[in-house]
């Protein structure tokens, strides 16, 4: 019986050694898993942080680009408004300068009319002023509309007076 007990003890001690070695293997495996999980979790944390930083940088670049483009458009709009106002102002000045030239021509013609009795020279001067005036009107987009003898067309003509019907 002692043999059996010894044998049983030997078997038990062999099993406990096997259990101890299995536990060590299991612990080593668990430690390895823990290390792998820790390194994975560090990597998993680092990757999203890098991604967040990259996306933040991209956002900042796009936002800066947007702000610059918006400022550029605002400057363009202001410059266009100023240029348009300058064109209107200078266009009015140009028209008035041309009208003043025509008025000067009429004043010289009137002075010559009072001091000279040469009718042919007067007619020639008035014809020149008239042709200069028509040229000025054409340069500024005014066109003559043939209306004599034609029925009234409200799309082309504007009524100056009205005559009551009887």
Structure tokens at 107: 């004043």
SS3 track for the chain: CHHHHHHHHHHHHHHHHHHHHHHHHHHHHHHHHHHHHHHHHHHHHHHHHHHHHHHHHHHHHHHHHHHHHHHHHHHHHHHHHHHHHHHHHHHHHHHHHHHHHHHHHHHHHHHHHHHCCCHHHHHHHHHHHHHHHHHHHHHCCCCCCCCCCCCCCCCCCCCCCCCCCC
Residue 25 pLDDT > 80, yes or no?
A: no
Structure tokens at 141: 């987009």
pLDDT of residue 97: 87
What's the whole-number average pLDDT of the chain?
Answer: 79
User: Tell me: the pLDDT tens digits for 111-135?
Assistant: 888 888 888 888 888 899 999 999 9
pLDDT of residue 117: 81
User: Of 45, 26, 47, which is closest to residue 37 (Cα–Cα)?
Assistant: 45
**Which residues does 139 contact at the CB level (< 8 Å), separation at least 6?**
98
pLDDT of residue 7: 52
pLDDT of residue 54: 93
pLDDT of residue 43: 64
User: Tell me: the pLDDT tens digits for 50-78?
Assistant: 899 999 999 999 999 999 999 999 999 99
In terms of average pLDDT, the best of 56-60, 94-98, 135-139 is: 56-60
User: Tell me: the pLDDT tens digits for 26-48?
Assistant: 666 666 555 555 555 566 667 88
77-81, 112-116, 157-161: which has the minimum mean pLDDT? 157-161
pLDDT of residue 150: 82
100 vs 93: which has the higher pLDDT: 100
């Amino acid at each position: 019986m002692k043999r059996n007990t010894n044998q049983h003890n030997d078997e038990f001690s062999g099993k406990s050694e096997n259990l101890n070695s299995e536990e060590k293997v299991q612990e080593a495996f668990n430690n390895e898993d823990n290390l792998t999980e820790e390194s994975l979790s560090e990597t998993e944390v680092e990757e999203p942080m890098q991604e967040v930083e990259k996306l933040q940088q991209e956002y900042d670049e796009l936002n800066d680009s947007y702000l610059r483009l918006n400022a550029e458009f605002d400057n363009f709009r202001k410059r266009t408004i100023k240029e348009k106002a300058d064109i209107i102002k200078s266009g009015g000045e140009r028209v008035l300068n041309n009208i003043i030239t025509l008025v000067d021509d009429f004043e010289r013609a009137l002075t010559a009319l009072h001091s000279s009795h040469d009718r042919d020279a007067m007619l020639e001067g008035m014809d020149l002023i008239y042709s200069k005036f028509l040229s000025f009107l054409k340069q500024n987009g005014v066109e003559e509309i043939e209306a004599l003898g034609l029925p009234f067309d409200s799309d082309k003509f504007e009524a100056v007076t009205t005559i009551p019907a009887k």
